[in-house]
Structure 1
């Protein structure tokens, strides 16, 4: 057999394989998401959010009921690809936890939970910023990036998070462009 013909055949076969996998992934992310799965995993979302913002001397994400906010935002305010990424990411996290730790995420120790979230954080972003932009443009926002974003947003706009987790001034009396924080003061909830 001619070497050039063999190399051309391998190149064509590999390019067809890569393009068909990319098309499969794009079509699977463009399918209608299963919102029932999202509601069924609300407890898992609460556990994930509590690892991101744990209860210390201030209330945690579970106290602020961030999981309800996350499910509502994913269901109502995100594009279909990001919704599918989020649901697939939750399923992937469940499978990863069962296969590597032989238990569910909620039964893992806090160190194991942090290790699992670090694994998914590393998996969700690329080293080069341009690759992240391309990935988000064509495939939607990654699971862990969206989870972190919505957890922080939901906590900061909740009543418990704004009043007990952050410094809140109910009626700001005047505008000051730069206010230095005093020692042991929490960050401001309002600007």
Structure 2
């Protein structure tokens, strides 16, 4: 059984890579999001920038993490999870309207942080409420999906891997444990 599953995964990975590459090409060529509306795409860009802001290194917006999230959600997530994510975006604007009478993208940095903190608290409550549920009925809260996709998208982007992390294009010998100096960046793998 495990061998069959492993073979299925091995055979499916090239097809998935082709699908992701085709979607990335389509998005780059058209300049339009594949799953998101233009407004949702802008919203995701703003939200990811709150998670990984521009500091001494470029942030999530510069790394175009919103584009990565759009492609990954479209090609790798089931429709149920896509709907949960899109509903989470709508909920974000509902929270913004209720608190500040503006959509999230129109908020200042402090207000955006406030809304993101509310989303994070809601996600923690959702996780707590689902703890007693059977595994098949549990879902990942919107904020957790957004944060996971943001971190994965950023640190696997060229900007994240080469500017936020230390990077050697062609590594030398393997060193399993390397002490970092205070303030030194972690190594990209």
TM-score (norm 2): 0.75
**1:52-100 CA deviation, whole Å, 9 max, x = no partner?**
0000000100010000000111111112221111010100111110121
| 1:1-191 matches, cutoff 5 A | 38-40=36-38, 41-126=40-125, 131-132=130-131, 134=133, 137-138=136-137, 140-190=139-189
1:32 alignment partner in structure 2: none
Stretch deviating more after TM superposition (122-131 or 56-65): 122-131
Aligned-residue CA RMSD in angstroms? Answer: 2.2
Q: C-alpha displacement at 1:104, in angstroms?
A: 1.8
Secondary structure in structure 1 of the residue aligned to 2:181 = coil
Extract unaligned runs of 5+ from structure 2.
1-32
CA distance in 2, matches of 1:187, 1:134: 37
CA distance in 1, matches of 2:138, 2:126: 17
CA distance in 2, matches of 1:149, 1:133: 23
Higher relative contact order (CA 8 A, sep 6+): 1
Q: C-alpha displacement at 1:177, in angstroms?
A: 1.1
Secondary structure in structure 1 of the residue aligned to 2:60 = coil
Secondary structure in structure 2 of the residue aligned to 1:58 = coil
Work out the number of aligned pairs and report it: 156
Q: C-alpha displacement at 1:154, in angstroms?
A: 0.3
Task: Tell me if structure 2 keeps the 8 A contact 1:64–1:160.
Answer: yes
Does the C-alpha gap of structure 1 residues 174 and 129 become closer, same or farther in structure 2, counting only changes over 3 Å? Answer: farther
Task: Tell me if structure 2 keeps the 8 A contact 1:82–1:142.
Answer: no
CA distance in 2, matches of 1:133, 1:66: 34
Does the C-alpha gap of structure 1 residues 134 and 125 become closer, same or farther in structure 2, counting only changes over 3 Å? Answer: farther
Secondary structure in structure 2 of the residue aligned to 1:126 = helix
